[in-house]
Amino acid sequence: MLGILLFGLYFTLFSLVVYYFRSWAQNRWWVKIDTQSPQCTYYFGPFDAEEEAKSLYGDYIEDLQEEGARGISIQIQRCQPQQLTIFEKDSEATCQ
């Protein structure tokens, strides 16, 4: 009987920890940068605050421009990307 009670307590605590870390990860801020040439989507992050993401995205844009990327657009959003770099052929991949 004690074993069942301890298992139930362990399972409940484990479930709470998993839920906490999942919700914490999904509420992080990411910089999403889309480029026309090459046609790609890049995710940079995660960041704890939107202001932190805003203060750093210029560095990412500079790096992409040095690599020859053109037609750059930026979004700052809360999500959990499935992939950090998405090429045109992988365009069905999204951020959850």
Query: What is the per-residue DSSP string for 44-66?
Result: EEEESSHHHHHHHHHHHHHHHHH
User: What is the rounded CA–CA span in Å between residue 34 and residue 37?
Assistant: 9
- Is residue 21 one of the residues assigned to a domain? no
Number of H helices, E strands in the chain: 2, 4
Q: Read off the pLDDT of residues 38-77 as tens digits, 9 standing for 90 and up.
A: 999 999 999 999 999 999 999 999 999 999 999 999 999 9
The tokens of 84 are what?
A: 């950090």
- Is residue 18 one of the residues assigned to a domain? no
Tell me the residue range of the domain where 32 lies. 28-90
**How buried is 12 (Cβ within 10 angstroms: 0-12 exposed, 13-18 middle, 19+ buried)?**
exposed
- Is residue 64 one of the residues assigned to a domain? yes
- Is residue 36 one of the residues assigned to a domain? yes
pLDDT(89) > 60:
yes
pLDDT on residue 53: 95
Give the position of tokens 């365009």. Answer: 91
- What's the whole-model pTM score? 0.68
- Is residue 55 one of the residues assigned to a domain? yes
Strand partners, 33: 42, 74
Q: What proportion of the chain, given as a percentage, has pLDDT over 90?
A: 59
Q: What count of Cα atoms within 13 Å lies in the side-chain half-sphere of residue 69?
A: 20
Structural domain total, the chain: 1
- Is residue 49 one of the residues assigned to a domain? yes
